[in-house]
């Protein structure tokens, strides 16, 4: 029986979603593939993102995975519908958590942080049409690169985050949406710009959706304990970074 779940992100960002899924489903076995050699995706044109996703899916599908999680908002926006039309296994994608943030509003605005590609594609535009009346979209310029280079904890990262968020810091902001799976690794810097404000992301919702879909098709693992395999198209020291990000999430 197929027993491997494929996780995909342009790089290390999807590790934030993987960690939640592993915690929720300790019996499952995961194959995580980061296309770090080609990250970031969010600054690239749509056709290039799609071509990269197509190649990455070959890596996961060659391992006969029982489900695929596009643990990347950019890849989901660019490629989820295409992938769903091509495979018969469950495909779980992500979207910026604008709806819960909107429901939590107390009169101010919601900042929706994501990549340039995510914010410009129809999936986000449709979300905005439904829930975006008080949502301000903001590109996290340079954020992905900082996480990819292992600098999420640095002073440089703090300054970069503050530079992007400074124009909104004096305004009435109710909450912040992290619409890119790399951004939870910068959460402390983002929170410092808006002390006490709730931060929403799609990690738990995605992991729960994965569990529901596996349950619905009767393919939840019966193994006593799952396994984890990490792969990258980038340099092998990226695997060390992936493990250290998992360990960081264990601590926080």
The catalytic site residues sit at 72, 180
Task: Give min distance, CB of 111 to ligand DGL, in A.
Answer: 16
Q: Which is nearer to ligand DGL, 50 or 105 (CB)?
A: 50
Closest residue by Cα to residue 18 from 2, 4, 32, 28:
32
Question: CA 202 to CA 206: how far, in whole Å?
Answer: 6
Residue 81 corresponds to which tokens in the numbers above?
A: 């519908």
Q: Which is nearer to ligand DGL, 119 or 221 (CB)?
A: 119
CA 110 from centroid of its chain's CA atoms: 19
Question: CA 90 to CA 46: how far, in whole Å?
Answer: 23
Q: Which is nearer to ligand DGL, 97 or 219 (CB)?
A: 97
Secondary structure (H, E, C), 74-126: HHHHHHHHHHHHHCCCCEECCCCCHHHHHHCCCCCEEEEEECHHHHHCHHHHH
Task: Give min distance, CB of 56 to ligand DGL, in A.
Answer: 12
Q: Which segment (82-90, 102-110, 125-133, 175-183) binds ligand DGL by CB under 6 A?
A: 175-183
Restricting to residues 3-62, name those near ligand DGL by CB under 6 A: 9-11, 13, 39-42
Of the residues 5, 69, 72, 207, which one makes contact with ligand DGL according to CB under 6 A:
72
Question: CA 74 to CA 115: how far, in whole Å?
Answer: 7
Contact call for residue 201 and ligand DGL (CB under 6 A) = no
Instruction: Report whether 65 contacts 3 (CB < 8 A).
Output: no
Contact string 95-134 vs ligand DGL (x = CB under 6 A): --------------------x--x----------------
Q: Which residues bind ligand DGL (CB under 6 A)?
A: 9-11, 13, 39-42, 72-74, 115, 118, 144, 180-182
């Amino acid at each position: 029986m197929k027993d491997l779940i494929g996780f995909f992100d342009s790089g290390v960002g999807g590790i934030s979603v993987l960690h939640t899924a592993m915690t929720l489903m300790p019996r499952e076995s995961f194959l995580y593939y980061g296309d770090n050699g080609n990250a970031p995706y969010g600054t690239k044109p749509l056709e290039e993102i799609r071509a990269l996703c197509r190649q990455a899916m070959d890596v996961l599908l060659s391992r006969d995975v029982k489900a695929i999680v596009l643990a990347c908002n950019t890849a989901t926006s660019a490629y989820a519908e295409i992938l769903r039309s091509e495979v018969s296994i469950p495909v779980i994608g992500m979207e910026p958590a604008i709806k819960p943030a909107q429901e939590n509003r107390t009169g101010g605005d919601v900042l929706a942080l994501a990549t340039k590609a995510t914010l410009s594609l129809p999936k986000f535009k449709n979300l905005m049409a439904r829930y975006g009346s008080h949502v301000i979209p903001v590109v996290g310029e340079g954020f992905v690169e900082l996480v990819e280079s292992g600098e999420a904890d640095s002073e440089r990262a703090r300054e970069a985050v503050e530079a992007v968020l400074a124009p909104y810091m004096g305004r009435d902001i109710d909450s912040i949406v992290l619409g890119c799976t790399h951004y939870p690794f910068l959460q402390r810097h983002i929170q410092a710009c808006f002390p006490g404000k709730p931060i929403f992301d799609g990690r738990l919702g995605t992991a729960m959706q994965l569990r529901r879909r596996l349950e619905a098709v009767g393919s939840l693992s019966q193994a006593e304990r799952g396994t984890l395999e990490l792969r990258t198209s980038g340099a092998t020291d990226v695997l060390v970074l992936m493990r250290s990000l998992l360990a960081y999430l264990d601590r926080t």
